[in-house]
Amino acid sequence: MLKALIARFKQGFRTGKFPPAAPSLPPDFRGRPQIDDDISPEEFERAQSACPVKNALYCDFEGAKLDMGRCIFCGRCAEVCDKIRFTKEYRLGVFRRTDLIVRAGDLDYEPPKQTDAAAKALRRSLTLREVSAGGCAACELDANVLGTLAWDMGRFGIRFVASPRHADAIYLTGPVSPNMQLALDKTWAAAPEPKFLIAAGACAISGGLYEHGNVPATPALFIPGCPPHPATTLEALLRFSGRC
């Protein structure tokens, strides 16, 4: 015990300063995308051809759009078209599916606030039951790292629990494969009311590169990414529970 205490004393404080300080992001981090409003049809078609995800980039009567719910943030579109770029904006979590759509010329961004009613229900604590519904484990690993000393989301009263009966929300990752559909439905049914569904990652939101299964309810929080960066996830959960 004495050796352990001495080791901890030497190690010092290991938890990062985020929040309130800005997170330390890797140099190649790709955050919220932007599309210039003067992108030409030829440039858009070139970017769309480079995208590996169907309908992540599309065009309608309003102009060019990028769906962050489908995007895997590979950056291929930006590589072939300088009218598309990925910023360092990590605050990507939203409460409505339509807010994941990035429109051409939409350069100003402020993350949405949680409603007062939902924030009041979650302000004291937020317990999550994670369901990996056929994912590749990337989203799961980057969510689990939030429980380490570096992030320590437990200091905000946010934690993963072993049973859905103890959960405020189901944290869904993966495209919901047929073999995981029943398990997801049973997990959702076992969670007590009021309960929320959180869709984390492109697969859980839209299927991403895969066919999307059936989710048991409309998600109350969407966290895009492939996988979402831990800072993106923690910030979204804090905003979801009305803490920032």
**Interacting residues of 118 by C-beta distance below 8 A, sequence separation 6+:** 196, 220, 240, 242
> Which of 10-19, 61-70, 125-134, 147-156 has the lowest average pLDDT?
10-19
Residue 11: pLDDT band (50, 70, 90) is low
Which tens digit of pLDDT belongs to each residue from 88-124?
A: 999 999 999 999 999 999 988 999 988 776 767 776 7
Interval 189-200 mean pLDDT: 95
Q: What is the mean pLDDT of the chain?
A: 92
Q: What is the rounded CA–CA span in Å between residue 128 and residue 25?
A: 25
| Cβ burial 159-175 (10 Å sphere, 16+ → b, else e) | ebeeebeebbbbbbbbb
pLDDT of 54 over the 70 cut: yes
**Interacting residues of 9 by C-beta distance below 8 A, sequence separation 6+:** none
In the numeric block, which tokens belong to residue 122?
């979650």
pLDDT given for residue 122 in this prediction: 74
In the three-class reduction of DSSP (H, G, I as helix; E, B as strand; rest coil), residue 25 is classed as coil
Domains and CATH numbers, the chain: 33-103 (3.30.70.3270), 116-240 (3.40.50.12280)
Which tens digit of pLDDT belongs to each residue from 135-190?
A: 899 999 999 999 998 899 999 999 999 999 999 999 999 999 999 999 999 999 99
